[in-house]
Structures are given as C-alpha cells and as structure tokens.
Amino acid sequence: MAWMIGRTAALSDPEQARAKILTKLHGLAELDDPESVVVPILIDALLMVESYRGARHQISFLPELTESIDALLRDLTIAEKTKEWAGS
C-alpha cells in the first residue's frame, strides 16, 4: 500500500502523519458497512493499550490489530479505486 506512513515519518512529524491518515479515512463513507470494519480495530487497539500498560513485554494483540488495519486499508483502497474507475 503506497500511501503507508513509515515509522520514521510518523515519529518525526506526527501531525502530518495524522493528517494523511484522516484524509485516507474519509473513504470510510464509501464502504458498505464501515462500522463492521472500524469497531473491531477499536476493540483491538483498546486491548493492545490495556495489555501493554505497565508491562515491558511484546504487545499481545499487535498481530490482530495489524490484520484489522490491513483489512480496513484494503477496503478503503478498493473504494477509492472503484470511485476513480467510475469517474473515468
């Protein structure tokens, strides 16, 4: 996914990274059921934060969160491409 924000970019300019993410998330309105994609990501993020809080070990729920985010990005990219092709 070409739009992705690398770790260095996210750490060096978090405001620009947030703006880029918000621009991408505007595509949520194009998805058939955005809640079914976003809610599991929020749940995974909350579990990740709680599992990591006060611990010095690997984040337990990171693989699930990564999978959820990847699915969201795939759906958003499909919606963007569909919109582009429909406009062509």
* CA neighbor of 38 nearest in space, from 65, 6, 78: 65
Instruction: Please state the domain extents for the chain.
Output: 33-88
**Residue spans of alpha helices (H) in 1-88:** 7-12, 14-25, 34-52, 62-87
User: What does the pLDDT look like over 45-81, one tens digit per residue?
Assistant: 878 777 777 767 666 667 777 788 788 888 888 988 9
pTM comes to 0.62
CA dist., res. 60 & res. 68, Å (int): 14
| pLDDT, tens only, 12-24 | 888 898 898 888 8
Cβ neighbours of residue 40 under 8 Å, at least 6 residues apart?
Answer: 68
